[in-house]
Amino acid sequence: MDAVTPTDNAAVNMTPGFDIPDPSSIERLEGKVSDAEWAVRKELAATYRLCALHAWTDLVFTHISARLPDEDGEERFLINPYGVMFDEMTASSLVKIDLDGNIKQDTPYFINPAGFTIHSAVHSARHDAGCVIHVHTPYGIAVSIQKEGLRRYSQFSMQVYDDIAYHGYEGIALDLDERERLVADIGEKNLLILRNHGTLTMGENCAIAFLRMYFLENACKTQILAQAVGGAEHLNEEPPEMGARVFQQTAPAFAKGLGDNLVWPGLMRKLQRANPGYDY
């Protein structure tokens, strides 16, 4: 397939029979982009592979995005190329786009325009969102289906409970008008449960967004496991006051330069052992 240029309409014009290049075979971009861009590319590619290690993937149908430095006064972002699995993502294969999802680099890949609808809404409204992770996991979706959403059943949930917003289901995210409602729903929160759909977290960097997703996904999993005993009458839910106390106690874990510095280096070592190659 010929390289996709910035003027192409990404995935909209694709016809059956296209090729998806192996991400380990394309041109390496180190030295061909700025040092700042390359650093974000490596961090985001590592985040994709970490999500794969934790089974937070839906084949190629979910997305993680990261903010890049502006170019000529315009915002730039990275997102995954459509058709590349999370566990094979590389820094060079990630695709640079603008806020409207237009590709802004030469690349052999295309993107899923619908994949950036939710992310663009968050990035446009929240300039502190250096990274946005959106996943479709069985436990996260199971909680999103429940009318009362996440409950204060576990320490996992109380660590994030007071920072969670909810957004109603509107079908596949193709309608750009939905972005306004999503932004209104998330407000100043950093975690979002999309009803009947999945979960989303943001952070100043990939590490913080990943940490938030780690606690949110474990909270959802714990809730579903606990509910195996029956209805709410069989479960102990902590009161709002206790939830607020735990949330404040663990807030430093999500502060830039604290929790990310504590956990991220170890995660990078684990990734190098388990699945090296993200930094290609």
d(CA 203, CA 254): 8
Buried-exposed string 49-84: b where 16+ CB fall within 10 A, e elsewhere? bbbbeeebbeebebbbbbbbeeeeeebbbbbbbbbb
Q: Which pLDDT value is given to residue 11?
A: 43
pLDDT in the model for residue 12: 46
pLDDT for residue 117: 86
Q: Can you give the pLDDT at residue 3? A: 36
Distance CA 247, CA 163 (A): 8
- pLDDT of 114: 75
**What pLDDT was estimated at residue 15?**
66
Q: What is the pTM of this model?
A: 0.91
Per-residue pLDDT at 177: 80
pLDDT for res 119: 92
The two beta strands, 198-203 and 191-194, are antiparallel
Regions of the chain with pLDDT less than 50: 1-12
